[in-house]
C-alpha cells in the first residue's frame, strides 16, 4: 500500500488520509510513519479519527467521522495549526461542523461505493445544497471516478476523495494523474 500511495502522490494526489479502524494504535502509528516517509512532504497527511496517532506521527491533521469527537474538543488537543476535517451526510450536519470550527468537510456518499456498501448515495445534489450553505472547502467522497468527478466540482466541491479508483489501479500514478486532469479542467471551467 505504501508504494501505491507514493505513486499516487507522484500522479497528483495532494492529501493522503490513513483510515483503518481495526488496527491497534502502535501498528497504526507505524503505518502512518511509513506513509509520511513515502510521501516526503509532497502531500498533506491526515489520520482518520485517531487524534493521538495523528499527533504522534506528525500528521498535518485529522479527519473526524460524523459521530466522532466534537470539533471544539479536538481543536483543544491539536491547537490551531493542525487541520480538522469532518465527515457530513446532510446540510444540517455541515452547518453544525462549520459552526464548531472544522477546517473542511468530507461530503458523502456521492455515488455508489465499495467502501460503504448498502449506503444510499446522495449524489451531487447534496453537494450543491451544502455549498449553498457553507463557506468551508467541500470534498466529495464515495464512488468518485474521473467520469463523475466533474459533476461534484460543478456542484460546489473543492475536491474529491478517492480510494478504489486509484489504489485498485495497476498504475496508481496514471490513475491519479487522470483524475487530477479532470479536476483541473473542472476548476478552470467553474471559475
Taking the chain (191 residues) in consecutive chunks of 10 residues, what is each chunk's mean pLDDT?
A: 97 97 96 97 97 98 96 97 97 98 97 78 96 98 96 98 95 98 96 75
Looking at residue 118, its pLDDT comes to 75
Looking at residue 178, its pLDDT comes to 98
Looking at residue 1, its pLDDT comes to 92
Looking at residue 101, its pLDDT comes to 98
Looking at residue 119, its pLDDT comes to 75
Residue 70: how many other CB atoms lie within 10 Å: 14
The answer to whether the beta carbons of residues 48 and 62 sit under 8 Å apart is yes
Amino acid at each position: 500500500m505504501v508504494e501505491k500511495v507514493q505513486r499516487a502522490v507522484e500522479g497528483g494526489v495532494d492529501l493522503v488520509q490513513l483510515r483503518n479502524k481495526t488496527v491497534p494504535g502502535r501498528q497504526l502509528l507505524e503505518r502512518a510513519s511509513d506513509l509520511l516517509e513515502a510521501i516526503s512532504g509532497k502531500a498533506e497527511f491526515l489520520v482518520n479519527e485517531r487524534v493521538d496517532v495523528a499527533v504522534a506521527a506528525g500528521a498535518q491533521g485529522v479527519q473526524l467521522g460524523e459521530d466522532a469527537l466534537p470539533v471544539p474538543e479536538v481543536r483543544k488537543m491539536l491547537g490551531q495549526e493542525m487541520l480538522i476535517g469532518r465527515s457530513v451526510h446532510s446540510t444540517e450536519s455541515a452547518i453544525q461542523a462549520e459552526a464548531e470550527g472544522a477546517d473542511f468537510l468530507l461530503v458523502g456518499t456521492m455515488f455508489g461505493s465499495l467502501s460503504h456498501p448498502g449506503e444510499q448515495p446522495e449524489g451531487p445534489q447534496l453537494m450543491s445544497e451544502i455549498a449553498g450553505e457553507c463557506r468551508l472547502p467541500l470534498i466529495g467522497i464515495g464512488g468518485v471516478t474521473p467520469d463523475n468527478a466533474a459533476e461534484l466540482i460543478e456542484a460546489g466541491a473543492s475536491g474529491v476523495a478517492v480510494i478504489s479508483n486509484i489504489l485498485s489501479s495497476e498504475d496508481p500514478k496514471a490513475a491519479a494523474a487522470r483524475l487530477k486532469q479532470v479536476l483541473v479542467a473542472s476548476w478552470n471551467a467553474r471559475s
